[in-house]
Amino acid sequence: MNVPAPAPQTSTLAIISLIFGIVCWFVLPFIGALVAIICGHLARSEIRNAAPGTLEGSGMALAGLILGWVQIALIALAIVFVFLFLGGLAFLAAGAH
């Protein structure tokens, strides 16, 4: 009697990474991106170290990672832009006197 192999389960961390990767674009920009990145890395490690065929969700974890890192990059660019813009205004205001 052959017993069928159990269906692979999806990593909970991968699901959390994807959810927060999406949420960081609408509700929690910085914190959501950090959660997506951390959970994405943990999920990929968990999936890699699990027995073959028992855990899936690497694509979800990767999507969460990408969404999180792109959000962090855009936040960093926005901060640099604000400082350059305000620095330029301060330079113009100081030179006007």
Q: What is the DSSP string of 54-77?
A: TEE-HHHHHHHHHHHHHHHHHHHH
Tell me the pLDDT tens digit for each residue of 17-41.
999 999 999 999 999 999 999 999 9
Is it the case that residue 1 has pLDDT exceeding 80? Answer: no
Q: Residues near 26 by Cβ (< 8 Å), separated by ≥ 6?
A: none
Within a domain: 55:
yes
pTM for the predicted model, two decimal places = 0.84
Q: How far apart are CA 35 and CA 19, in angstroms?
A: 10
Within a domain: 72:
yes
The reported pLDDT for the residue numbered 91 is 79
Residue 51's pLDDT band (boundaries 50, 70, 90)? confident
Domain span at residue 30 reads 10-95
Q: How far apart are CA 63 and CA 92, in angstroms?
A: 43
Within a domain: 4:
no
Within a domain: 85:
yes
Over residues 40-63, the mean pLDDT reads: 94
What is the domain count for the chain? Answer: 1
